[in-house]
Structure 1
Amino acid sequence: MSSKSRRPTKKAAAERGGSWHPRQNRGISPEDLQDLSESFRQAARELRSFTKPLTVETYISTFLNHWREAIVSELHRDDPDELLIELINEQTVDPAVSEPLAQLHARDTVALLNAIAAVTEPQFAQLARGGLTDPVLRDTEAPEWAPLVGGSQVRSCYTSDSEFGDETEIMLTYVYQDEAEHGLRVTVNHTLAGMATDVRVEPDVTEALDAMLEAAGSDSGRLLTRSEPASVHTMLEEAFGVTPQAEDPPVTVGYQNLHPFAIARIRALPPGSPSPKPPAWSEKARSNVVSEFLSAPEAAGLPAAAAEAIAAELVSYGVENDRGQPLRVSPTKLQVVLLGWLPRTGLLARSHGDQVPEVIPAWVRYAARRTGMSDKSLEKVLATLPDITGRFKAAYEDTERWSPERKAVERMLADVDPAADVDPVFARRMFALPRLPDREFDPEDEDSFRRLIAEEHADTESTHHVAKSSDRNPRRHVTLHTVIARQLWKNDPPETWATAQRLAHQGLERHEVLHALAFAVSEQVARACGNKDAFDLDCYRAALAALPHSWRESADSAG
């Protein structure tokens, strides 16, 4: 692990040579420990060379980000925060860690701990401040910036919303004592569920605000307003909470490096009230929007099935990822949905792909009328559509855009005609299996099914259900469920799936339905053992028709 990656270790023990009482080494090699200590020595030396508190805070924020990344990617540890605590807390640091860190000069240690305390989470900051009370460090001269870091005061807050509501720019201005005003600028992307995607430090607040005012003045749809710190606190706290929930959030390098710095600044703002939750959208409410669109003049002449399917996906995305706004349209949002989200998820049937360039303009006109969008804004959106919709089909088939889940689904449906309605096939096959199959799954191989079924029956709950069923032999039980899974996969005979749907409609849970089907097939499996021709399909159909009563009676009699 190269020392250039600058992963921060903190708590330098100062020159206290062996006064720590650390725990046993937790698997870090001496070479990696040497790299860790060297990266901290280098960081401490640089910190001591700085004169401005803002430089210190942004530097240590970037350093901590690189350190966490290196711990995960290079040391293959998934607990960077735990390691950070160990390295700060003198009572829990490994002896192998404390020894090289003890080589840090006391002044380096003081600089490092002061910087870390300014931008880290409260539990780390408290440990760092506690380290500064050490007898050796307490009497050590601190850098001139030490009393200032972490102590900036917010002066003003501004928000600027883009024309179509895709994003909000937030500018907070701060001052340290006897220092020039500086700004923290954050971008919140509402098209991506309201996540924070960019963080910048603005050393020249006047210049940055002038640029924001110019953008607002030249764009009739963009607003620049002064906001209360408490309301901005709420908005930013929620935005930074959304970003980590995304699988691969499209954040900038600035967001990554300045994340600790930004969180520390946000935490210091006055507390605000939680934002109102977006309106709840029931399935009926969603379908009503789709129905209204289909009956609107803008949708006249559209292919009904494609228009309904495409509109349904647009509504779902708006409800779930755009603050409950299914009718908000913009070039950015449509690009995200058509070239990002739909290719990633594969939720739209391929048979509707050719109709996207026809349906989307109609949807945009309908949504613009419903939301009162200006003619000028509508023209802007419509002008971008040929490029976006023209790239949809290629994007939809671009496997680089597919999520792992979509890739698994595509493998599941590889034998289905792309022009067919795949939803019923997918529902049937997912009912048959406990989860999406892996890449190695072979639908022609009985053992592939058996492994998945055995996996499902390995847990305690499933074992309990086996005991509750009429079949007490676990191996035979798995065999019967494997037979049912293969029947459902191939829909052969179709009565198996029809019976499963009937039982589910009567209120049986999935595992109960599968147990009942296994009971129905058990006699035929026993009869056909070693002789496939002995399987009596008519008898099996009759056994299916007798469910669920026959299965329940058998289970009751079995005790």
Structure 2
Amino acid sequence: MSDPHRHRYRAPGPESPEAVFAEMLVAARELLAVRSPLDAELMVSDMLGAWWGQRVRGGDVEQVLGEGLVDYAAKAGTPAALTLLITIAYLGTSRQAAKAEGAALALMESKVARPRWVERVGAVKPVECFVSRDAYGDQDTVVCTFAYRGEDALSDPNTPPTEDPHALVVVVDYNLRGMARDAWVSSQVDKLLEQARAEAEANPMLRFEPLEPQQARALLEVAMKATRESGGRGRPYPVSDSYRTYHAFARARVKALPPGRKRPAPLYSEAPYNRERRAMLAAEFLASDAAEQLSDPSAASRCADHIIDYGCDQDFGRPLRVSPTKCETFLLDWLPRKVLLSPAEQEAMPHVLAAWVRFAAPRMGLPEHAVRATLDAVWEATAKFTEAYRDPTTFGLDRSLVQRLLPDKDLSALARRAFAFPYLEGVRGTVILDRLNPADEADRRILIELDHLEERHRPDLHEHLAWHEEIAKRLWDGEPPQLWDAAQRLLDLGHDRHDVLHVLIEIAERIGDHPDELIAALDEIADLPDPPL
């Protein structure tokens, strides 16, 4: 099997997508020389991965660039273009596939030549599926094997596939909300499976076991959906370059698996934890020998609540699962972004987490060396935690002010809520701002009215204030997230707060109750180099 990594395509820039389409069509001439549909599919998957996950002005990248490439190939009308279209009809998104299939049929009716093997593009059948799981429960590595039906067997769907066997390997990371973060393809199926079995036999921290194809499909569909939802909004997708390269290929192969089963639960999954069950678990922990040395019971209790909530809400209902990676992610990534801790809680948290490891690990059945490795990770992260966790009060913000803005302790909401309600201290006329609660609807209205004293004579003031209330509420709740992303983009370009709010109001008022259209409009505004205000 040829190596698809020899093809590295640059993503189209906003000024010259046509030039890159032309470059890709030149590269597509190599499709005429390959002898296997597998090689062709991998080559085209690499092409489609050039822009996967990127943002472009004017709409969804898969429509603007993916469908743009289809249109460009359709106009070219060459054998290479036809071969490319046939392959995209299998690998592309549903819209790309439909357009590519229509364009390919038109070129075929015009008698444009094509290689013989194109009849077998996508003519694969699943053979076996497996999953390799680490004993920590951090990740699943899913292995799905496939083979093509030969030319003589295309008319008989019952004929076992035998040609070009290959394996799709996808890594599902449960410390990243169960997203697929890596993928690759191997033609050395027997060697790959033999190596996986040998590693599991030699390492008690690994399990390698068969997986029903229906379950593999359900697991991978959910994981790839989580990946799509993990980036965007100005954030990079936390995936490997290999995932981008094989994304289109993996998406098509997952669809080739039979549907019909629920996703297999991650290791150590339990029945859902309601608030009562969480409280009982916290009480059990605080009464255990593991928590005996904790010096501040009150802070320890609040820290335990955060640990349990993280495990339940961010780790598929697994508060008792511990691992080096999970503990590091909790201390150095999630807490600094999401939770407002008191000074006592900041001091106690690493010690409570270490006690939690000693309490939870035996329930998971982790061997002693794995417990030690997890505790080592906690202590190594402790010094970094003091640097990673930024208490808002260290920036000069009064703690009582921060608590008014964060009654839910959602630290990630501080910036957008402070933007929505920047005046919460001092006196305005006869109103003492320190006594107003921005989480209260009536007080929120007063704050917005005070922000518009100079506009109190405008004839549409009531309606205008209602829209300001609506935007303020959305910013407070963080829904949709693109609202705050767009506001930050405009602020970064030097526009003042009130003008930015008016832009957001104009968009929301114009689009009305159409969430998808609102998100698209906000994304487009956020991409403008110099948005009109």
Say yes or no: TM over 0.5: yes
Residue aligning to 2:59 = 78
- 1:295 paired residue number: 287
Shift of 1:4: 8.0
| Alignment partner of 1:264 is 2:256 | no
Rounded to whole Å, the distance in 2 between the matches of 1:263 and 1:86 is: 17
Question: In structure 2, what is the equivalent of residue 306 of structure 1?
Answer: 299
2:192 alignment partner in structure 1: 208
Aligned to 1:469: none
Q: Which residue of the other structure, out of 163, 167, 173, is the alignment partner of 1:189? A: 173
Cα 1:280–1:176, aligned 2, differ >3 Å: closer, same or farther? same
Matching residue's letter, 2:201: G
The 5-angstrom pairing of residues 153-232 of structure 1 reads 153-177=125-149, 179-232=163-216
Q: Would you say the 8 A contact 2:405–2:418 is kept in 1?
A: no
Shift in CA distance, 138/304, structure 1 to aligned 2, threshold 3 Å: farther
SS at match of 2:119: coil
Instruction: Name the residue aligned to 2:441.
Output: 511
Structure 1 CA distance, aligned partners of 2:447 and 2:88?
Answer: 62
Structure 1 residue 119 displacement after superposition = 0.8
Q: Structure 1 residues 34 and 325 mapped into 2: Cα distance closer, same or farther (>3 Å)? A: closer
Contact 1:58–1:261 under 8 Å retained in 2: yes
Aligned to 1:24: none
Q: Closer, same or farther in 2 for the Cα pair 1:199/1:343, shift >3 Å? A: same
**Which deviates further from its counterpart, 222-231 or 45-54?**
45-54
Task: Give the conservation status (yes or no) of the 8 Å contact 1:346–1:396.
Answer: no
Paired residue for 1:48?
32
SS of alignment partner, residue 191 of structure 1: helix
Higher relative contact order (CA 8 A, sep 6+): 2
Query: Could you tell me which amino acid in structure 2 is paired with residue 168 of structure 1?
Result: D
User: 1:18-417, aligned counterparts within 5 Å?
Assistant: 32=16, 34-68=18-52, 72-73=55-56, 76-83=57-64, 87=68, 102=75, 104-134=76-106, 137-177=109-149, 179-247=163-231, 248-275=236-263, 279-302=271-294, 303-397=296-390, 410=392, 414-416=396-398
Counterparts of 1:220 and 1:33, CA distance in 2: 51
Q: CA deviation at 1:255?
A: 1.2
SS in 1 for 2:282: helix
Task: Give how far 1:437 is off.
Answer: 2.8
CA distance in 2, matches of 1:350, 1:138: 74
The secondary structure found in structure 1 opposite 2:185 is strand
Greater mean deviation of Cα atoms: 288-297 or 241-250: 241-250
Q: Kindly tell me: are residues 299 and 77 of structure 1, through their superposed partners in 2, closer, same or farther at Cα, counting changes over 3 Å?
A: same
Cα pair distance change 1:390/1:135, threshold 3 Å: closer
Aligned CA-pair RMSD: 3.8
Distance in 1 between residues matched to 2:252 and 2:227, nearest whole Å: 16
Q: Which residue of 1 aligns with 2:418?
A: 437
2:407 to 409, 413, 427: 427
Cα distance, 1:318 vs. partner? 0.7
Secondary structure of residue in 2 paired with 1:185: strand
Alpha-carbon separation, structure 1, partners of 2:404 and 2:418: 18
Percent identity of paired positions between Structure 1 and Structure 2: 28
What stretches of structure 2 of length at least 5 have no aligned partner?
A: 1-6, 151-162, 450-533
Q: Which amino acid aligns with 1:320?
A: D
Separation of aligned partners in 2, 1:184 and 1:156: 11
Whole-angstrom distance in 2 between the partners of 1:241 and 1:429: 29
Q: Which residue number corresponds to residue 542 of structure 1? A: none
- Pair 1:36–1:69, CA change in 2 (3 A): farther
Aligned 8 A contact 2:128 2:145 in 1 = yes
Tell me the alpha carbon deviations over residues 257-303 of structure 1, each in whole angstroms, 9 at most, x when there is no partner.
Answer: 21111011001110022338874333333222222211212111312
Which letter maps to 2:93? E
Q: State whether residues 349 and 422 of structure 1, in contact with CA within 8 Å, keep that contact through their aligned partners in structure 2.
A: no
Are the counterparts in 1 of residues 124 and 256 from structure 2 also a CA contact under 8 Å?
A: no
CA contact (8 A) 1:181 1:203 kept: yes
TM superposition shift of 1:425: 6.3
SS in 1 for 2:334: helix
SS at match of 1:188: strand
Q: Could you say what secondary structure the match of 1:47 adopts? A: helix
Q: Give SS of 1:379's match.
A: helix
- Amino acid across the alignment from 1:393: T
Letter in 2 for 1:150: G
Aligned residues of 1:290 and 1:308 also touching (Cα < 8 A): yes
* Shift in Å, 1:165: 0.8
Change (3 A) 1:251 1:517: closer
Shift, 1:356, TM fit: 3.2
- Provide the C-alpha distance between the structure 2 equivalents of 1:136 and 1:232, rounded to a whole number of angstroms: 36
> What residue in structure 2 maps to residue 471 of structure 1?
none
Aligned partners of 2:288 and 2:224: how far apart in 1? 39
Give the letter aligned to residue 291 of structure 2.
Answer: A
| Distance verdict in 2 for CA 1:413–1:126, change over 3 Å | same
Is the alpha carbon distance of 1:154 and 1:323 closer, same or farther for their aligned partners in structure 2, counting shifts above 3 Å? same
Structure 1 residue 388: deviation in Å? 2.4
8 A Cα contact 1:44 1:108, kept in partner: yes
Q: Give the counterpart letter for 2:244 in structure 1.
A: Q
Tell me how far apart the structure 2 counterparts of residues 319 and 423 of structure 1 sit (CA, whole Å): 25
Contiguous gaps of at least 5 residues in structure 1: 9-27, 398-408, 447-478, 501-508, 520-559
Tell me: CA distance 1:55–1:344, structure 2 relative to 1, closer, same or farther (3 Å).
farther
The one-character-per-residue Cα deviations of 1:52-103 (angstroms, maximum 9, x if unpaired) are 3222112211211214567x35xx33333333575478xxx6xxx68xx63x
Q: Report the 3-state secondary structure (helix = DSSP H, G, I; strand = E; otherwise coil) of the residue aligned with 2:121.
A: coil
Give the Cα–Cα distance (whole angstroms) in 2 for the partners of residues 274 and 424 of structure 1: 43
CA distance in structure 2 between the partners assigned to 1:396 and 1:412 by the alignment: 11
Give the SS at the match of 1:438.
helix
Q: Deviations over 1:475-511 (max 9, x none)?
A: xxxx89xx76xx34x34xxxx66xx9xxxxxxxx932
User: 1:408-487 to 2 correspondence within 5 Å?
Assistant: 410=392, 414-416=396-398, 423=403, 426-427=406-407, 436-438=417-419, 441=422, 487=432
* Conserved 8 A contact 2:52-2:244: no
Render the CA deviation track for 1:354-375: whole Å, top value 9, x for unaligned.
3234222211111124444343
Contact 2:175 2:326 in 1 (8 A): yes
State how far apart, in whole Å, the 2-side matches of 1:172 and 1:425 are: 49
Amino acid across the alignment from 1:275: R
Q: Deviations over 1:436-494 (max 9, x none)?
A: 13399576798xxxxxxxxxxxxxxxxxxxxxxxxxxxxxxxx89xx76xx34x34xxx
CA contact (8 A) 2:282 2:305 kept: yes
Q: 1:233–1:271: 8 Å Cα contact kept in structure 2?
A: yes
Deviation at 1:231, TM superposition (A): 1.0
3-state SS of the aligned residue for 1:309?
helix
Task: Give the match's secondary structure for 1:238.
Answer: helix
TM-score normalised according to structure 2 size? 0.69
Tell whether the 8 Å contact from 1:157 to 1:171 is kept in structure 2 after alignment.
yes
Name the TM-score, length of structure 1 as normaliser.
0.66
Cα distance between partner residues in 2 of 1:429 and 1:380: 31
Contact conserved, 2:82 with 2:107, CA < 8 A, in 1?
no
